A = this chain, B = another copy of it.
Amino acid sequence: MALGEFDLIHRYFDRPGGRAVLGIGDDCALVAPTPGMQLAISTDMLVEGRHFLSTVAPERLGHKSLAVNLSDLAACGARPLAFTLSLALPRVDEAFLAGFSQGLFALADAHGIELVGGDTTAGPLNISITVFGEVPPGRALLRSGARPGDQLWISGTLGDARLALEVFRGTLPLAGEAFEQVRLAMERPTPRVALGQALQGVATAAADISDGLLGDLGHILKRSRVGAQLEADALPRSPLLAAQPLAVQRQCTLAGGDDYELVFTAPAAAAAAVQAAGRAAGVAVTCVGHIQAEPGLRVVDAAGRPVDHGLASFDHFKA
């Protein structure tokens, strides 16, 4: 049986309304923002082979599609409110839709947010989500606020998602539980939403790490018109990644991609507040360097020697 477009939306994506004044089913959704708050908006498109592999379970893909968008809100310190979903599918695949919507809504429910609009169409698999959050005026974490002397921080650990990708590519061997663990990092990332909000008024700048640390930190440095020294050996990594050759560790932590951790800056005097924010959000935060007035990024090892970082940031057109 071929389901029509509207049946599809209805069956898998229509749910009882929550904070939206009017949800799916009209030409527009109507949302009443909290008076006085600014609206934070971000959008991310996921394409097979670029942002996920065909081997991913639908539940995980549903989770990841929303997670990468929530990660952008986290990087701004915004509280998530709602999202829209546009979905192109090669064919009506109910097993896919059931799994995808389950993973999507499980994460949405965990953050108390609602799907307020959607579109489905036949076409090559494509998932486009736009998320909305709120943040008090002047409290959003921007990329432009880093100042010389600020410490440079990373949440969680970096590189496991890239490690998993390399295993899929056949360039690295990893099996059993170890493979499952890094695969989970790649396919089911945790957006640092609580940390982002806890860093309001503490961090001076922030970005989420989606295209590799070097690239995303580069955005902060460029927009803040500063430079940085980054200690490669201080970058937080899982025991699994720490067991890999040093070159692999460097590649995965510095230019891995798909980490969805936060890179952020804060004055040295705020170090205790940063640690407290991490504890409140239930995620480790690690100081990995500091901001300098001189433009450019200087990556050094534990002994302070320069580390070659001629590593391209993960870029969806270059990779």
Contacts and interface: CB of A to CB of B under 8 A. Distances in A.
Contact of A223 (B25, B44, B50, B207): B25
Interface stretch (A69-77, A167-175, A268-276): A69-77
Contact of A119 (B45, B116, B223): B45
Interface in A87-139: 87-88, 92, 116-124, 126, 128, 130, 132-133, 135, 137
Interface string A37-54: 011111111011111000
A29 interface: yes
Interface string A15-34: 00000011001111111110
B35 A30 contact: no
A303 interface: no
Interface stretch (A182-190, A285-293, A311-319): A311-319
Contact of A27 (B25, B42, B86): B42
A41 B126 contact: no
Contacts of A88: 45, 47, 126
Contact of A39 (B25, B30, B120): B30
A281 interface: no
A39 B47 contact: no
A116 B39 CA distance: 11
B50 A122 contact: yes
A121 B122 CA distance: 19
A122 to B, nearest CB: 5
A251 to B, nearest CB: 19
A315 B43 CA distance: 26
A294 interface: no
A124 B126 contact: yes
Interface of A: 2-6, 8, 21-22, 25-33, 35-36, 38-45, 47-51, 72-73, 75-76, 78, 82, 84-88, 92, 116-124, 126, 128, 130, 132-133, 135, 137, 140, 142-144, 206-208, 211, 223, 315-318
9 contacts: A27-B143, A43-B86, A43-B118, A43-B128, A44-B119, A45-B121, A47-B121, A47-B126, A124-B124
